[in-house]
Chains A and B, each alone.
Chain A
Amino acid sequence: MSQSPYNISKLFDRLAEQGLDALSPDDVARLEAAANANPALEARLARLTPVPEPIWQTLPPMPDDEQWDAMWARVHKRSTPQAQPVRRRLTLRTYLRPIVAAAACVLLALVWNTYERSETSAWPVEWAHQVEINNLEVPEGETAFVLTAGEANEIPVIWVLNTQG
């Protein structure tokens, strides 16, 4: 089965002039492969508009004006700048509560680190040491920071805060 440029060009012309109905499944597969391998052909294909057929565009009635107006009212209300939470300027007061919580956590870590655990302790968990955090990704609108504890700052505590109000 020849895939010469001439044949592909004829297939493309047939598609452009007569639409998809003029092609067989094999024609479509060949044309697809050729377009994926040839940027120029792909660009030509990209500019084509598939022939619309009214039968395939049959739909139930569209929403009426009242429905559209109601939808617009909801869209407008939920997307206007005034509808967004006010972004607070980040100050020490913004972080006060999480800082206090973080400090309490660090204090707990220090106490734990100096507490003499017996060999028969039922608590199987130990603090991880020599931890290195190479990357920390958080969603947009949130910020992360790491506090360390321990005598040699070897115990990391990760905090993630929502900064959008």
Chain B
Amino acid sequence: MRLLADAASGDGGARRQLFEMHREAAYKTALRITGRNEDALDVVQDAFISAFDKLDRFERESGFKTWLLRIVTNKALDLLRARKVRIAVPLETSGEAGIDLPQPDSAGSERPGAALERGELAERLRAAVETLPPEQRTVFSLYAAGDLTYGEIAEILGVPPGTVMSRLYHARRRLRELLPDLAPDGPPTAE
């Protein structure tokens, strides 16, 4: 609370501390939603500027991280709308008409997670996430940023926790269908 009060009064050291504490979560969220490194950096920068400008009006009913990620999410979605990116791409099954996702080398018997380069893996995941509908994409992005509860994600997005759970469920299910070799326990099975 003291840190927030100091930052709100313009203390550069306090603001720098907040920036360093939350920049990675902000970047991960922005990157997942926008899909581009350059856009994610722009979103994070604009979000922190906006947050610090409004810090004196921050009511502190939620945590600063939750509040900041709400700003990040909204700015990332605004940027997508401005780019007029077609986010939802109907994809029957992987390999059929739709997005061609980079496929791993078929040679070798190592587990896929160990065999792939991190960059190629990240690119495949990025391409798959871009096919998710916006509401699933934002929930998944916040989940993947790490350490947020259903309630915190719900607060950021302004939806009930049950809706967060449902969207995350379907997002992960979709990603497993698109990336069956990367799913921790294989494709999902319906009961």
Q: Give chain A's interface residues, CB within 8 Å of chain B.
A: 15, 20-21, 23-29, 31-36, 42-43, 45-50, 52-53, 55-60, 62-63, 67-68, 71-72, 74-76, 78-81
Contacts and interface: CB of A to CB of B under 8 A. Distances in A.
A84 B150 CA distance: 37
B160 A36 contact: yes
Contact size class for B?
35 or more
A35 B12 contact: no
Given A55-B182, A68-B23, A32 B15 contact: no
Interface of B: 10, 12, 15-16, 19-20, 23-24, 27-28, 31-32, 37, 41, 44-45, 48-49, 52-53, 113, 118-119, 121-123, 125-126, 140, 143-144, 146-151, 154, 160-163, 165-166, 168-170, 172-173, 175, 182-185, 188, 190-191
Contacts, number: 130
B168 to A, nearest CB: 6
Contacts of B188: 21
A20 B125 contact: no
Grouping DSSP codes into helix (H, G, I), strand (E, B) and loop, the B interface class, with mixed when no group exceeds half, is helix
B67 to A, nearest CB: 15
A45 B165 CA distance: 9
B37 to A, nearest CB: 7
Nearest to B47: A75
A33 B27 CA distance: 33
Contacts of B118: 58, 60
A75 B41 CA distance: 12
A81 B31 CA distance: 29
